[in-house]
A = this chain, B = another copy of it.
Amino acid sequence: MKMMEEKLKIDKISKGTVIDHIDAGYALTILSLTGLDESKNLITIGVNVSSKKYQTKDIIKIENVFLNETQMQQISILSPNASISLIENYKVIEKKKVKIPKIIKKLILCVNQTCISNSDEPINSEFLVLEEKPLKIQCVYCERIYKLEEIVFTSKEKKEKIVKQRIQL
């Protein structure tokens, strides 16, 4: 009975994408990083939802939206166990796990100022994935190693978006 109630907390959508088994506490970061937070479509989000598999998890359901390859990669970095379901007529028509690439290109910034990826030459950042969970990546140019919480993401789309509110950290 308890499971039933918990399941009901976020209802079905007719068409769109469900991102499930997000690491607890990462849904809002994923929405911001992927730019999905700018959508005018209905989004329902569960944060710290009880989960049989992982104790707690986050979940995002977004109507009428399907993810592109960049967004899938961004999610895989933040939540390597996430699963993506495509929904049509309230039914799952496709289900896939995100897959963290062996080399992450362009999505992450190397904060080492002397790294060649930060020079004036147009070299895209590139990181080798050493470990998936907990994440450990290494810049292929300067060999600096980063853990998940040290990562600074780049976001081309965000540059052009109107920043609605700034919060002074």
Contacts of A154 in B (CB 8 A): 168
> Which of B149, B155, B158 contacts A164 (CB under 8 A)?
B149
Alpha-carbon distance A5/B149, docked complex (angstroms):
39
Q: Which residue of B lies closest to A58 (CB)?
A: B43
Alpha-carbon distance A162/B25, docked complex (angstroms):
13
> Which of B9, B32, B48, B49 contacts A167 (CB under 8 A)?
B32
How many copies are assembled? 2
Binding site for B on A (CB under 8 A): 5, 8-11, 25-26, 28-29, 31-33, 37, 39-50, 78, 109, 149, 151-155, 158-159, 162-169
* Known contacts A10-B44, A28-B37; is-contact A169 B159 (Cβ 8 Å): yes
Alpha-carbon distance A42/B27, docked complex (angstroms):
12
> Which of B8, B48, B152 contacts A166 (CB under 8 A)?
B152
Alpha-carbon distance A29/B167, docked complex (angstroms):
9
Q: Which residue of B lies closest to A156 (CB)?
A: B168
The answer to whether B32 and A42 have CB atoms under 8 Å apart is no
Contacts of A46 in B (CB 8 A): 42-45
